[in-house]
Structure 1
Amino acid sequence: MLGIYRTMALGLGLTGLVALLVASTPALYGPIFGTPLKWVAMLAPLAFVFFFTFRIDRMTVAGARTAFFAFAAVMGVSMASIFLVFTDLSIATAFFAAAALFLGLSLWGYTTKTDLSRFSTFLMIGLFAVIAVSLVNLFIGSSLLQTAISVAGVLVFTGLTAWDTQRLKSEYLAYAGTQGTEKLAIMGALSLYLNLINLFQLLLQLIGQREE
């Protein structure tokens, strides 16, 4: 579990650094977000997740770790636009709120005796629904629909944080000492990383103040 959280934290740090670098460099963000390339930047992380999920079994541990950090860097490029849209204070507020939610739910998922797997089907349906409606809203641009997506998404990802933590704890206990433990840590880091990143972005949509 320490390996999972350590890998996740390194990925978050890389994402933040890349996002800041791109946002503070006009020569980088101009060609990306001022042209149709913005769609590539926005959709690339989703494509990367599907690729990572289907290829992980064939990767070496080193290859899986490299792919995770490459994904974190790509996510940083995608997220650079938030620094151009929202104020620094609202970005910080949304991040700390998301981090507090994440830590609380992850701790509860790790320690609770309640079997959270009973909610897994509901959470996965909710996840795919949020993704599908979010993709549709990229083209519609409805602020009311975005608010509904953000509220539903926060509920889904808080639930996923608790369930993923409990699931990873159980998997670790089952596979501890085997060669698959390191890959499990990388996939676990990816799951929790995505939960926190999505919580942050959804909260930012709800409470973020835009630049004037």
Structure 2
Amino acid sequence: MSETDRLYKKNAGTAGVVAFDEGLRRYMIGVYNYMALGVAATALIAFGFLMSPAAMQTVAGLSFIPFIALIALGWFAPRLIMNGSKATAHGAYWAYVALWGVLIGPFVAGYIGMGMAGLVAQAFFISASIFAAMSLYGYTTKKDLSGWGRFLFMASIGFLVAIVVNFFLASTMFSLLISFGVVLLMSAITAFETQMIRNLYVEGAGEMNERSSIFGAFALYGSFISLFVHVLNILGIMRD
């Protein structure tokens, strides 16, 4: 039995199994609700780009700026969310959502504008299915996934570097290989993060607040959007 499972039994025995499980359920629903709202906001931003070619051109002229801002916020936001006020947590999360929308909005709008809305929908449902399966695995598995953390972090850095390199190479085949790799990586990260988010509640004896739910949503939202972008890229390249 893992240390987390022992903590679960101890905390559940103190507060009552039913009450503890109900609190965990509410906590996880809060995480997924915030994440779903973030995905919906990103979809609205993408729709805004579809309706405004001028906005799309403006973002295209920013080059690497939104990408660098997203990486920077992705690094600092967890600290702001967990250590700041509730208002700071909300601000960091929704700024992150907005930056993702600015970054991928033109990409998604481009597909829709070319009459490939069906492909976008297909990518979304494939991504949602993968995400749901891996998140369920992370939540229910008895295997301790914490040992994956170091490898997943290093792999993320490697793929990030590869994406930047391919920005200059503009190789379709390299882009396809990167996207397949990122889909596998994000699937594993989704399971890892879900277990981490669950364990935060267990180890905290159920004393989790709204900032904790926002932190969980922040982690899972980034994984889902990354998964969606690369599934869409795979489908687009395979279609061509």
TM-score, normalization: structure 1? Answer: 0.90
2:149 to 112, 115, 120: 120
1:61 to 86, 90, 101: 86
Contact 1:85 1:211 in 2 (8 A): no
Shifted more, 20-29 versus 52-61: the winner is 52-61
In structure 2, the residue matched to 1:72 is 97
Contact 1:123 1:160 in 2 (8 A): yes
Q: CA deviation at 1:203?
A: 0.7
1:28 to 50, 55, 72: 55
Structure 1 residues 58 and 163: CA distance shift in structure 2, 3 A: closer
In structure 2, the residue matched to 1:205 is 233
The alignment status of 1:5 with 2:36, answered yes or no, reads no
2:221 to 190, 193, 208: 193
Identical amino acids, percent of aligned pairs: 33
Cα RMSD after superposing both structures: 2.1
Contact 2:193 2:219 in 1 (8 A): yes
In structure 2, the residue matched to 1:140 is 169
Q: 1 CA distance for matches of 2:162 and 2:56? A: 27
Contact 2:50 2:110 in 1 (8 A): no
The alignment status of 1:149 with 2:178, answered yes or no, reads yes
Structure 1 residues 84 and 15: CA distance shift in structure 2, 3 A: closer
Q: 2 CA distance for matches of 1:69 and 1:156? A: 24
Q: 2 CA distance for matches of 1:77 and 1:47? A: 15
Q: CA deviation at 1:208?
A: 2.0
Q: CA deviation at 1:51?
A: 2.9
Q: 2 CA distance for matches of 1:42 and 1:169? A: 30
The number of aligned residues is 209
Q: 1 CA distance for matches of 2:108 and 2:238? A: 10
Q: CA deviation at 1:169?
A: 0.5
3-state SS in 2 of match to 1:81: helix
Q: CA deviation at 1:52?
A: 1.3
Structure 1 residues 93 and 196: CA distance shift in structure 2, 3 A: same
Structure 1 residues 84 and 5: CA distance shift in structure 2, 3 A: closer
Letter of the 1:181 partner, please give it: N
Which segments of 5 or more consecutive residues in structure 2 lack a partner in the other structure? 1-27
Contact 2:123 2:231 in 1 (8 A): yes
Shifted more, 37-46 versus 87-96: the winner is 37-46
Contact 1:109 1:163 in 2 (8 A): yes
In structure 2, the residue matched to 1:81 is 106
Q: CA deviation at 1:200?
A: 0.4
Which segments of 5 or more consecutive residues in structure 1 lack a partner in the other structure? none
In structure 1, the residue matched to 2:14 is none
From the CA coordinates, give the structure whose radius of gyration is larger: 2
3-state SS in 2 of match to 1:80: helix
Contact 1:85 1:210 in 2 (8 A): no
In structure 2, the residue matched to 1:41 is 66
In structure 2, the residue matched to 1:170 is 199
